[in-house]
């Protein structure tokens, strides 16, 4: 029953995240403005906003004008729900409180950054800045005295690495948003997990980029957002990084 509750809660939060993503792109108030069809401006009723179910029942179309509804909506809702369930299962039972709420906030924010950068090639400061502040507060007040220096060094190292790439390429290789995202990554992951995150971010990015080039989806001159790969690298490092490092050390 607890897992079912977490899943349903995740679906509801995912629906809210879709609102955040759309309002940041189109403008308007996240709280005050009603959800509308982007084509005919039909105001959506509550039964048209039920996560996933409304999308399926309406066959992915607006009830008023028949405009297709983006697959982003159910995918974000399901991704949020599955993430929350995974976090709940990942954490020991004695962390099912503030620590779980903290991780829900972090990964919900990262999902917004993932989708927004994928669609608009921008990492929105309205999400990144509060996320970094919350993580910094958690590091300084919740992670213990010994963990704080590692987090600070990791943040400066990751951000400095991205800043060097940004300066050398004059912004052609990565955007400045990635430089700021490096601060979050270092604070959130610390050392040595930040190394795992960077390694897999570039590995997955190179793999996906190569596939796109081979399939002619992109050219060498095409712009590819790097933020989603940084989020994926952060995910791998946070949940599997310790096991990956231990596996690597056992080889030697």
Q: At what angle are helices 176-189 and 125-142 packed, to 10 degrees? A: 20
Query: By mean pLDDT, which of 90-94, 110-114, 189-193 is the weakest?
Result: 90-94
Domain range for 3: 1-120
pLDDT at res. 221 = 64
Distance CA 108, CA 81 (A): 10
Q: Are 197 and 231 in contact (CB under 8 A)?
A: no
pLDDT value at 75 more than 70? yes
Which of 80, 92, 112 has its CA nearest to residue 228?
Answer: 112
pLDDT digit string, tens, across residues 176-234: 999 999 999 999 999 999 999 999 999 998 898 888 888 767 766 667 888 999 999 99
Residue 92 φ/ψ region, left for φ over 0, alpha for ψ in the -120 to 50 degree band, beta for the rest = beta
* 177 and 211 belong to one structural domain: yes
Cβ burial of 140 (10 Å; 0-12, 13-18, 19+) is middle
Q: Are 76 and 44 in contact (CB under 8 A)?
A: no
* 69 and 178 belong to one structural domain: no
Give me the chain's average pLDDT, please.
87
* 131 and 252 belong to one structural domain: yes
pLDDT at res. 127 = 94
pLDDT value at 145 more than 60? no
Q: Which residue has the tokens 């993430």?
A: 83
* 85 and 129 belong to one structural domain: no
pLDDT value at 144 more than 70? no
């Amino acid at each position: 029953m607890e897992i079912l509750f977490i899943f349903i809660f995740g679906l509801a939060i995912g629906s809210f995240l879709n609102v955040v993503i759309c309002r940041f792109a189109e403008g308007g108030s996240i709280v005050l403005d009603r959800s509308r069809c982007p084509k005919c401006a039909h105001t959506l009723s509550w039964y048209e906003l039920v996560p996933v179910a409304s999308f399926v029942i309406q066959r992915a179309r607006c009830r008023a004008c028949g405009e297709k509804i983006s697959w982003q909506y159910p995918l974000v809702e399901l991704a949020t729900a599955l993430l929350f369930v995974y976090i709940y299962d990942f954490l020991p039972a004695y962390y099912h409180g503030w620590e779980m709420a903290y991780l829900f906030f972090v990964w919900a924010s990262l999902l917004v950054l993932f989708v927004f950068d994928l669609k608009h090639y921008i990492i929105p400061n309205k999400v990144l800045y509060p996320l970094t502040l919350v993580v910094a507060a958690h590091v300084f007040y919740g992670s213990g005295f010994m963990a704080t220096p590692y987090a600070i060094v990791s943040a400066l190292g990751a951000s400095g690495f991205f800043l060097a790439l940004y300066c050398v390429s004059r912004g052609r290789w990565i955007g400045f948003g990635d430089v700021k995202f490096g601060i979050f990554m270092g604070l959130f992951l610390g050392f040595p997990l930040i190394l795992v995150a960077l390694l897999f971010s570039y590995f997955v990015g190179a793999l996906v980029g190569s596939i796109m080039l081979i399939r002619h989806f992109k050219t060498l001159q095409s712009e590819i957002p790097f933020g989603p790969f940084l989020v994926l690298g952060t995910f791998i490092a946070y949940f599997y990084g310790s096991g990956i490092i231990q596996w690597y050390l056992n080889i030697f």
